Amino acid sequence: MPAADVREATYPIFEENRRKSGVALLEKIGEEPAHGAVGVNAVMERLIEGRVQKLMLGRPVDGAVDECDHCGRVQPPTDGPCMFCGNTSLHSLEADEGLIRQAVLTDAEILTFDVDEVPGFTGAAALLRY
């Protein structure tokens, strides 16, 4: 059987398994609030702390985060200076871009879901390492 046929035959199974994994992860985050974070700001704070094991993004992800023009670090939105270097020159990034960039730096697993792949979930959530 050609590889394209195998891929076509197994793709629906893969997608259903991915959807079920997303539902299970969201349930786990909800059942163990001390081991989870929900919302862009809470997830970004945990990413900065290096605590995120799995980052879950449900599109659309509304909101924004800030990036420092001096040190390049990403942080939750603030009216004040950069929390890392104190510089006052910050600009906004779309939340999903900022969260993904920070997750890559901390070796967090990144899972993205389109609208309704995980029923009722949009935004950001995270399963914490500790």
- Give the Cα separation of 3 and 6 in Å (integer): 5
Which range marks the domain in which residue 122 is found? 3-128
Q: Would you state the pLDDT for residue 1?
A: 81
Tokens of residue 31, six digits: 């059942």
Q: pLDDT tens across 95-104, in order? A: 999 999 999 9
CATH number at residue 124: 3.30.1330.30
pTM across the whole model: 0.89
Model confidence at 3: pLDDT above 90? no
Contact status, residue 117 vs residue 54, Cβ threshold 8 Å: no
Number of separate domains in the chain? 1
DSSP string, 12-46: HHHHHHHHHHHHHHHHHHHH-GGGEEESHHHHHHH
Closest CA to 128 of 60, 54, 20: 54
Q: pLDDT tens across 48-59, in order? A: 999 999 999 998
Closest CA to 47 of 105, 93, 1: 105
Q: Would you state the pLDDT for residue 130?
A: 92
